[in-house]
Structure 1
Amino acid sequence: MVARLEANGDLGPGLVREALLALDREVLMPQAYVRRSAPGEKPVRRDLLDWSEPQDRRELLAVLYGGDSVLIQHEGEPLLGRPRRGRHDGSITSMSTTMRLTSSLLQELDLRPGHRVLDVGTGAGVTSAVACYVCGADVVTLDRDPHVSAAARARLGALGYRPDVVSGSGEYGWPERGPYDRILLTFALPYVPQPCVEQLAPGGKLLVNVVTTSPSWPALAVVTRSPGGRIHAQLRAVEFAHLAGHGIKRIHLPAPLRERLETGQACDLSASRSFRSDQAPPAEEAGGFWLALDALHPGLVRHWGVEGLALGAPDCGSWMTARPDGTGSWSVATSGPRDIWSEIHQTAARWQAAGAPAVYHLTLEEGGEQRVSAGHGTHALGWRLPPPSAPADHTTSQETTT
């Protein structure tokens, strides 16, 4: 697993690599779910692989060290003492994140021996194990689910690690043990949680994925506190992100809209049009542009399985496809009340005028307002992140994902 991460450029030399090489994942995750039903088949059928069963070990090792997400909890069940049996339907409520994402964030976190670390979203305990290996005993790991916390406490202890394992709302952090030199949130939010920022020590760093309702263009917020106490924050597009936190609304392409994007056929031909354009949409690699489009013209989802560019707006049924025609022009088809092609080029013009930023400045006001910005004067480009929503129950506010 580590060799594959290195070969793909997702992991470099250093203490994180050493920690991953030393980590017996079968101790942290002695059970894991695997899907047995075919894609689209209902009900969804899953089996629980168990390390204590010799016939399961080969398949479980492949799951644990394959690098993909590992499914560890179904419908909020207790993890300790769980019998080996299959599950039908229901949802996975905790998992260990893909190692490509985990390793990249752990490296960016720049863990050092002696750091005080807050790991928000315990999950299987991979992040906590790495933090304990690198930094020592001054690690707090926080999860909304006490069953997940209980299992992580026992299994990390079996590896010789003794972090402070606590249960509560991730958005509020754990001020009792702060401030922290490093804070990592392993679920995505529409904003940066201010209580966690307040728990950041001078010289500290906080990482959290920031998302909108769309799953297509996630971002990473990097928040640092200077030795003098001043907060600096940036926002940049990323390819992969943690799952959205518990209760956060997400939109997806329904099957009929996906079919229209794949075929280019509108159900109402009077509401559609096709044309050629010499204007190319910004490249996929222009992450700063796509963040701006998502913020300024929300509600769009990209269909990544279609050649060229295919975007749909589930709320109103609008869609747009654009494919290169081989002559340097683009063949464009649009349908619905939204003119998505125009939205793209209006946003592209503003983004270019602001200097085509790949990284945005993120302003975190003490009153709670959070603003994203780039450029200056008449060429400024920016938007506000939504205000935090206060959960009614502080112990049940976030999904666990790592």
Structure 2
Amino acid sequence: MDTEARRWADHMEASGCWPDSSMWIRPAMLERAPRHEYAPDLVWVWNGDQWAAVERTTEPDQWAAAIYGSPYDSTITQITDSLPSSSLSCGSVVADMLDSLRLAPGDRVLELGAGLGWNAALLALQAGPGHVTSVEVDATLAAEARKRLDAAGLGVDVHAGDGAAGWLAGAPYDRIIATYAVETVPWTWVEQTRPGGRIVTPWGRLGHVALTVADDGQSASGWVQGLGMFMPSRGVDQGREWDQIPRNGQVETESPFPRAVEGLADSSLLFALRVLLPDIRITSRTDRSPMAWVHDGYSSWATISVTGPEGGAAVASQGGPRRLVDEIAVGWERWVHAGSPSLYDFGMTRTPDAQYLWVEDGEGGRQRWEPLQSSHHQSDQAA
């Protein structure tokens, strides 16, 4: 365990994952509340076909490797209906989100999504005993997190409940942080944060935002802070994985793709496409022959690859009710036409009635970015 933990810490260092502006995070994550102390004896790893259990007592080396993989890997700690439903988030994102929270000693913090308590422990080490409240929808996980946090003497108040409702009894909070992704930031969270307070939450399973509540409490705005994949809140339809998309009876078409496949690894382009095409999922590789896999989680899919020698033309194959490659091409052009804004040029505003993303236009104005189409077409859902 010590060897794996040291290797993980060194990788975090080499990758620049320890934030200079929040020096408390590194010792908290490595020494005061190490990751493995909040991991269950049974974790899950993907073996290429399914999620396979790894038991600490019988496979200690494999278990340690699953806990301390890459700084960019999460550790799956619970499977529900054959899908991951709880995890220890990847260390790089945990550190980045804690840094984005701008947490100070004495701040009152509400955490949504306790899991097994690791993030709550880190919050309490900075905010102080009695200053952190955590809500977890799974009563079994909540009880386990409470047990671990009580044993550590961290004074975290853990409740079983729906995170979307916040926890009114402790409001107002100086800081709110969620450990699961939301499509729309619950207005309840804004109402339970003091004016000038800060909300950090994953959005749409591809990034996280930090919002500051306005002085009048009637809005919250802020910037996208970084990328990262997150589980959605419980009950949200996660759709199908790439290899689960039905192909029987589908007509596959092939056509040239007008841009370089490698571009689909650009984090700023990926985020822009996430805003414009919310339900399209894209993964890619650039280490060998460049290739991208695209699907909508239901019934449409595509691959984009390079044929022939290096630098050759890209070809797209696609099937299903939607033409996903055509939609991506339109979204890509929209991003280029807007000046190819960076991931960090995007911001979000939440009001009582609406939520929208925007990019500053260079003159102090904000240009809204709206989806090019509605998510989860009815025809796809029925397939």
1:181 correspondence with 2:174: yes
Matched to 2:271, the amino acid is L
Aligned equivalent of 1:162:
155
Structure 1: distance between partners of 2:275 and 2:19: 33
Q: Which moved more, 1:175-184 or 1:349-358?
A: 349-358
Structure 2: distance between partners of 1:207 and 1:135: 16
Work out which of the two has the higher radius of gyration on C-alpha atoms and give 1 or 2: 1
1:4 correspondence with 2:23: no
Alignment match of 2:357 (pick from 361, 364, 372): 372
Q: Could you report, residue by residue, the CA deviation over 1:125-147 in whole angstroms, capped at 9, with x for unpaired residues?
A: 11111111111121111111222
Matched to 1:293, the amino acid is L
Structure 1's 148 and 335: CA in aligned 2 closer, same or farther, altered over 3 A? Answer: closer
Aligned equivalent of 1:390:
none
Structure 1's 140 and 354: CA in aligned 2 closer, same or farther, altered over 3 A? Answer: same
Alignment match of 1:272 (pick from 253, 256, 262): 253
1:350 correspondence with 2:341: no
Structure 1 gaps of 5+ residues are 76-88, 261-265, 388-402
Aligned equivalent of 1:239:
227
Where do 1:304-383 residues align within 5 Å? Answer: 304=284, 307-313=290-296, 315-323=298-306, 330-336=313-319, 338-358=322-342, 359-367=345-353, 369-374=354-359, 380=367, 382-383=369-370
Alpha-carbon shift at residue 196 of structure 1 (Å): 0.8
- The secondary structure found in structure 1 opposite 2:255 is strand
Percent of residue pairs identical:
24
Alpha-carbon shift at residue 292 of structure 1 (Å): 3.8
TM-score, structure 1 as length reference: 0.73
Structure 1's 185 and 357: CA in aligned 2 closer, same or farther, altered over 3 A? Answer: same
Alpha-carbon shift at residue 100 of structure 1 (Å): 2.2
Aligned equivalent of 1:396:
none
Structure 2: distance between partners of 1:74 and 1:342: 35
Structure 1: distance between partners of 2:273 and 2:45: 38
Structure 2: distance between partners of 1:91 and 1:350: 34
Say which structure, 1 or 2, has more relative contact order (CA 8 Å, 6+ apart).
1
Alpha-carbon shift at residue 273 of structure 1 (Å): 3.4
Matched to 1:202, the amino acid is P
Structure 1's 63 and 363: CA in aligned 2 closer, same or farther, altered over 3 A? Answer: closer
Structure 1's 119 and 307: CA in aligned 2 closer, same or farther, altered over 3 A? Answer: same
Structure 1: distance between partners of 2:373 and 2:250: 34
Structure 1: distance between partners of 2:273 and 2:60: 46
RMSD over aligned CA atoms reads: 3.8
Q: Which moved more, 1:251-260 or 1:223-232?
A: 251-260
Structure 1's 258 and 236: CA in aligned 2 closer, same or farther, altered over 3 A? Answer: farther
Structure 1's 200 and 69: CA in aligned 2 closer, same or farther, altered over 3 A? Answer: same
Structure 1's 38 and 6: CA in aligned 2 closer, same or farther, altered over 3 A? Answer: closer
Matched to 2:159, the amino acid is V
Where do 1:3-402 residues align within 5 Å? Answer: 3-13=10-20, 14-20=23-29, 21-29=31-39, 31-35=40-44, 38-40=47-49, 46-49=53-56, 60-66=63-69, 68-73=73-78, 93-137=85-129, 138-211=131-204, 218-226=206-214, 229=217, 231-234=219-222, 236=224, 238-255=226-243, 268=251, 272-275=253-256, 277=258, 279-280=259-260, 283-284=263-264, 286-304=266-284, 307-313=290-296, 315-323=298-306, 330-336=313-319, 338-358=322-342, 359-367=345-353, 369-374=354-359, 380=367, 382-383=369-370
Q: Which moved more, 1:329-338 or 1:104-113?
A: 329-338
Aligned equivalent of 1:86:
none
TM-score, structure 2 as length reference: 0.77
Alpha-carbon shift at residue 105 of structure 1 (Å): 1.2
CA contact (8 A) 1:70 1:96 kept: yes
